[in-house]
Amino acid sequence: MTIFRRISMTSQTDRLYRTAAILALITIFYNILEGVVSAWFGFEDESLALFGFGLDSFVEVVSGAGILHMVRRQRDNPDRNPDEFEQRALRITGLSFYVLAVGLLVTAAYDTLHLHAPTTTFWGVVVSCVSIASMWLLIREKVKVGHALGSPAILADAACTRVCLLLSVILLVSSVGYQLTGIGWLDSAGALGIGWFCFKEGKEAFDKARGIPCSCS
């Protein structure tokens, strides 16, 4: 009876790790699609918040690749520390977030000083609503798998996805605000909010690369 129970537990664990890997793949491909759509419409509509949101999605793709690799490593050898691939992915992610944060800060300041306003933020509203729904579903499933496996790393990934949801909320608020009022600096304010979270995510990525646990709070 004990043997069958162990086999059943092993099978269930393998299934959970497969689910975690699938969730990581979904996150990667979703961020690629979201990045293309957001950057394109952000550039076309001259919306800095939407454009910055799209660039953030591309950085999240690199982070997602590291998460996928981490899930596979944990499945094969749960006790092994992060390897060179994960650390390199985290450093690239951290540097990219820092560059993006600085770029958004400088551009937002320039747009505000020159009273720049986007053509429209309609697509910012659409993209942010889709992203909020998608991120909420991903968070729910990642938390479920993380608790089932007792994996702090997968739960931390779910917390990082929660940050993506907060970014979507910032984009939604700034986009709706501009659509209703026509006040141009609201788009820049949204870009600054996204830049602030990019800075925090960059710091946490470097901390993870050094082996410091992060909560992505």
Summarised one tens digit per residue, pLDDT across range 127-140 is 999 999 999 999 99
Q: What is the domain range of residue 91?
A: 17-209
Span 165-214, pLDDT tens digits:
889 999 999 999 999 999 989 999 999 999 998 888 888 888 877 765 55
Mean pLDDT of 12-40: 91
Please check whether residue 11 is in contact with residue 129, taking contact to mean a CB–CB distance below 8 angstroms.
no
Closest C-alpha to 49, from 198, 189, 216? 189
**Would you state the structure tokens that stand for residue 55, as one six-digit string?**
């660039």
- Give the rounded percent of residues in the chain with a pLDDT score beyond 70: 88
Phi-psi region of 118 (alpha: psi -120 to 50; beta: other; left: phi over 0): beta
Any domain includes 196: yes
Please check whether residue 138 is in contact with residue 23, taking contact to mean a CB–CB distance below 8 angstroms.
yes
C-alpha distance across the termini of the chain, in Å: 43
Number of compact structural domains in the chain: 1
Q: How does DSSP classify residue 158?
A: H
Place of tokens 């950057």: 39
Any domain includes 2: no
Q: What is the predicted pLDDT for the residue at 124?
A: 94
Any domain includes 217: no
Any domain includes 139: yes
Closest C-alpha to 192, from 170, 207, 211, 173? 170
Give the CATH number, domain containing residue 89.
Answer: 1.20.1510
Q: Higher confidence at residue 139 or residue 86?
A: 139
Any domain includes 1: no
Any domain includes 5: no
Any domain includes 8: no
